[in-house]
Structure 1
Amino acid sequence: MEGRTITKGEAESILNRQESHFWDFKSATSGGATIQKIASALANAEGGEFIVGIEDPKTGKGITRWQGFGSIEDANWIQQSLVDHVQPPIPYDIEYLRVKGYEQAGWACLVTVQKSPDVHKTAKGEIHQRRGGENARLNGAQITDLSLSKGARSYEDQLLEDYDLEELQEEEELHYFLKSYSPTMSAEKFVKRQRLIDRKTLMASVAGAILFAEEPPTVVPKRCSVKIARYETSEKEPDRKYLKSSPESIDGPARVLIDRTLSAVTQLIQSVPVLSADGTMSPMNYPPEALKEIIVNAVIHRDYNISDDILISVFDNRVEVRSPGRLPGHMTQENLFTDRFARNPSIVRLLNKYPDAPNKDIGEGLDTVLSTMKAAKLKAPQFTVHENAFVVILEHTPLARPEELVLQYLASNEEIVNRIARQLTGIESENAMKRVFYKLRDAGKIEPVPNRSRARAAWQIKKP
């Protein structure tokens, strides 16, 4: 196979990458077992890349870590490991690289591994899967779950009859992406290597269009935009009369779509006034990290085979994000925070290659949502699976106990009525709110406001 010479700058860009869910370094002295392990782990996950011929950062800095093979033939054992020693053989592409001015440092072997529909075993019969920056060995139920998740061809791999290599390689977003991609390569070579086009028909895939087409809905035969609606109510199932105006529709390649959606939702949320615990009205606000993670997950993990848009609804007391499709593979609500499975591995993997990737922290997204909501003293998000959608609800309800919120409100206000208390605490039932008042009354904290009829009943701090 042929190799090519890259610049020192391109080499440094490679050397500066951090090992991650999609990337790893291996020494030229690594054995076949090491190559089998990393390659099968990537193929059993979402795919990724590793480069053989780069030493660990602990051994040196910069270009001194580039310690490759004396000749391309010296690296033939890598391909042999991928084809002969892993069963079934790994789906891969290989490129050999050396650095201009440092030819004596040798050839490094860059291996791109695609996600596979098969479960791959090493020569020892072991099954590994990439998790973060580690290659986890699976056993028992984990292998069963992996097997159940394999085999189904993702809709992101479907080919588009009216969108081909000629159009895809001219997309502005693709060229924006390739400006920071290392090693440098042409648009045509990149999309072929990443399996974004069929090499025989030259038809582009759905993943290629979702990632790089200027307006994906014009080339993907399914609805794939984001719609944002504002309902001026707190009802669980609102009537259309509460819809403030026609939903806003947002399009664009995945990275741009995420940015535009986050900006529009944030602006809309901040226009909604909410009651604070001290009785004042202030703009609704959520941790930016929580909103971003929920929007990113909706875009990259939705089922693009379902002809429906992502729907984000902003209510007076919550935000709901409805992503088309049930949970993929073996994923359930019970293992949502412990396991991972990408319905759209190419979209997930390539979006992660942007310099400021929206899905940079693979596997930590939902944990980030939980931790940031807790830090903001808001209730934990709700995750529910509907017949044909996955729904996340972010309530703008304080994490504090209802009793604390009532007392905090009364510290700045003379009285509180049931309606205001429910709005403040997120309690929907009028009778349930009364029980909170009675509990505080029995504890000697509050008392009814004298001479107020049932319709105008209110509570105040108990007077001495």
Structure 2
Amino acid sequence: MEERFLSLDEALSLANRLESHFWDFKSAESGGRNVQEISSALANAEGGEFVVGIEDEKRFTGINRWKGFSTIEDANWVHQNLVGEVDPPIPYDLEYLWIEGEEIRGTCCLVTVQKSADVHKTSKGEVYQRKGAQSLKLTGTKIADLALSKGARSYEDQPLKDYTLDEISEEPELQNFLQSYSPAATAEKFLKRQRMVTKADGLATVAAAILYAEEPAAVVPKRCSVKIARYESTEAVPDRKFLKGTPLTIDGPARLLIERTLDAVAEIIEAVPILGTDGMMSPVKYPPEALKEIIVNAVIHRDYNISDDILISIFDNRVEVRSPGRLPGHMTPANILTDRFARNPSIVRLLNKYPDPPNKDIGEGLDTVMSAMKAAKLKEPQFVVEDNAFVVILAHTPLARPEELILEYLRNNAEISNKTARSLTGIASENRVKQVFYKLRNAGMIEPVPERIRSQAAWRLTEKEAARATAGG
């Protein structure tokens, strides 16, 4: 436990920070129960911080929200609830913050809570978990799921023998980050407080390297870059002959790795042509927010203990993002949209501390992907668990039914072949497309083009349907 004096600007910045998945405020008058709930909720999630001594913005504004304890002794109950009332005790650090020249405003307690391997309960035996800006009470199977997830070990905490406190302290990315970090801290103080270096010998952890090393792949013993490959094919398992050029390798600290990957993927995708219902070839258009969330999730939730890179494969009809490692803890494709569990809580939490973090909407990433794809009228993404990887597939197949796409195409073009229909609808099977053609034929909407058989076979609108199309019906 330490004392620190902040400038008035730093104190104001702290008071104005928005509540989030990793940050909360409590009044100095809130009482032990509130401290137990927020601290156990953070420890049962990915960790985070809360400050005791700042009032709700509905009651006060600006620096007037800072209403701390008159003396450090008056705040002893905060420490007592963290250690003596939560079972088991919370893993935490505590700082007493004063405003320089404004001691009359009192001291606030800044509590940094680490994610724990235990399930923590309040003195009443209640279990809470942080989700978004809320501390939610868990019951029944949710507690059992949390206990199962707690058993999952993370490689991100492993120390790196050849990467020390002195080396990481000089990394440009860390220095850049600390310029905007509040309250201000030296590299050494920040890294030690956030458990990014070992106390005994000052060795940086895997998480520290992933977040701040200029070239993480050079200091982490496992492969941890991103590879991007372009296949000029729609096959499920394409032959190497369809690989266009040499796969691109992207490296860098997590924030820059995400930005560089997004730029590279966007550039490649813009050169992929697809067939539209107007019969014209145009560039693929995926919702940028969907691509971003999938790539961010791959970087922050992958298993860094597996020596493999994230692989992004761009096909003529889809994008596949393959992240090393199966889903962690109790997570499955069935509950991936409703539950959450971070394999790398330190990476997730500290990446969120940037002024404009790539993982801004904690817990809403995949929901964003689903809604963005739907808004773009594209089919929802597929989630696939393989032996040692989690794969997300974004197809640029339109959400409209195959029948609607074929009819729309024929309203703009004289005829359509099976091959063209497969490209248009995303249906891989020639026979399945035939069944769609037969369904439309039986409805009196299309007919075979006369004297066109086998590979030359094609379909066109019936005279009646063509007249309706011309009349705008």
Indicate the TM-score class for this superposition, using the shorter chain for normalisation: over 0.9
- Structure 2 matches for 1:356-435, cutoff 5 A? 356-435=356-435
C-alpha distance 295-2 of structure 1, shift in aligned 2 (>3 A): closer
Could you list the per-position Cα deviations for residues 387-437 of structure 1 after superposition, in whole angstroms to 9, with x for gaps in the alignment?
Answer: 000000000100000000001111111110000000000111111101111
The aligned amino acid for 2:77 is W
Which residue matches 1:337? 337
Is 1:107 the counterpart of 2:95? The answer is no
Which residue matches 1:12? 12
Shift, 1:101, TM fit: 3.6
Could you list the per-position Cα deviations for residues 276-322 of structure 1 after superposition, in whole angstroms to 9, with x for gaps in the alignment?
Answer: 11111000110000000000000000000000000000000000000
**What is the number of residues matched between the two proteins?**
464
Is 1:254 the counterpart of 2:254? The answer is yes
Q: Provide the rounded CA distance (Å) in 2 between the counterparts of 1:2 and 1:193.
A: 11
Scaled by the length of structure 1, what TM-score is found?
0.99
Shift, 1:102, TM fit: 2.5
SS of 2:5 mapped into structure 1: strand
Q: Provide the rounded CA distance (Å) in 2 between the counterparts of 1:435 and 1:58.
A: 62
Is 1:170 the counterpart of 2:157? The answer is no
Shift, 1:454, TM fit: 1.9
Shift, 1:126, TM fit: 1.0
Shift, 1:267, TM fit: 0.5
Is 1:227 the counterpart of 2:227? The answer is yes
Which residue matches 2:217? 217
Which residue matches 1:350? 350
Which residue matches 1:180? 180
Shift, 1:153, TM fit: 2.9
Shift, 1:334, TM fit: 1.0
Which residue matches 1:146? 146
- Structure 2 matches for 1:288-367, cutoff 5 A? 288-367=288-367
Q: Provide the rounded CA distance (Å) in 2 between the counterparts of 1:280 and 1:463.
A: 24
Higher mean alpha-carbon deviation, 27-36 vs 7-16, is at 7-16
Shift, 1:67, TM fit: 0.3
- Structure 2 matches for 1:74-113, cutoff 5 A? 74-113=74-113
Q: Provide the rounded CA distance (Å) in 2 between the counterparts of 1:394 and 1:241.
A: 23
Q: Provide the rounded CA distance (Å) in 2 between the counterparts of 1:285 and 1:359.
A: 23
Q: Provide the rounded CA distance (Å) in 2 between the counterparts of 1:12 and 1:414.
A: 67
The aligned amino acid for 1:93 is D
The aligned amino acid for 1:349 is R
Q: Provide the rounded CA distance (Å) in 1 between the counterparts of 2:71 and 2:153.
A: 38
The aligned amino acid for 1:4 is R
Q: Provide the rounded CA distance (Å) in 1 between the counterparts of 2:461 and 2:347.
A: 57
Shift, 1:148, TM fit: 1.0
Q: Provide the rounded CA distance (Å) in 2 between the counterparts of 1:49 and 1:119.
A: 18
Shift, 1:104, TM fit: 1.1
Is 1:43 the counterpart of 2:43? The answer is yes
Shift, 1:156, TM fit: 0.1
Q: Provide the rounded CA distance (Å) in 2 between the counterparts of 1:449 and 1:153.
A: 63
Q: Provide the rounded CA distance (Å) in 1 between the counterparts of 2:236 and 2:104.
A: 68
Q: Provide the rounded CA distance (Å) in 2 between the counterparts of 1:368 and 1:186.
A: 36
SS of 2:412 mapped into structure 1: coil
The aligned amino acid for 1:285 is K
Shift, 1:455, TM fit: 1.7
Q: Provide the rounded CA distance (Å) in 2 between the counterparts of 1:151 and 1:74.
A: 37
Which residue matches 1:265? 265
Q: Provide the rounded CA distance (Å) in 2 between the counterparts of 1:150 and 1:283.
A: 45
Q: Provide the rounded CA distance (Å) in 2 between the counterparts of 1:462 and 1:67.
A: 78
The aligned amino acid for 2:217 is P
SS of 1:210 mapped into structure 2: helix
SS of 1:59 mapped into structure 2: coil
Is 1:34 the counterpart of 2:37? The answer is no
Which residue matches 2:443? 443
2:51 and 2:111 in contact (8 A); partners too: yes
Is 1:127 the counterpart of 2:157? The answer is no
The aligned amino acid for 1:184 is A
Could you list the per-position Cα deviations for residues 21-67 of structure 1 after superposition, in whole angstroms to 9, with x for gaps in the alignment?
Answer: 10000000011111011001100100000000000000011000000
Q: Provide the rounded CA distance (Å) in 2 between the counterparts of 1:12 and 1:280.
A: 56
SS of 1:460 mapped into structure 2: strand
Higher mean alpha-carbon deviation, 142-151 vs 345-354, is at 142-151
The aligned amino acid for 1:49 is E
Q: Provide the rounded CA distance (Å) in 2 between the counterparts of 1:8 and 1:329.
A: 43
Structure 1 spans left out of the alignment, 5+ residues:
none
The aligned amino acid for 1:338 is T
SS of 1:189 mapped into structure 2: helix
Q: Provide the rounded CA distance (Å) in 1 between the counterparts of 2:260 and 2:462.
A: 50
Identity of aligned residues (%): 69
Structure 2 spans left out of the alignment, 5+ residues:
465-473
Which residue matches 2:158? 158
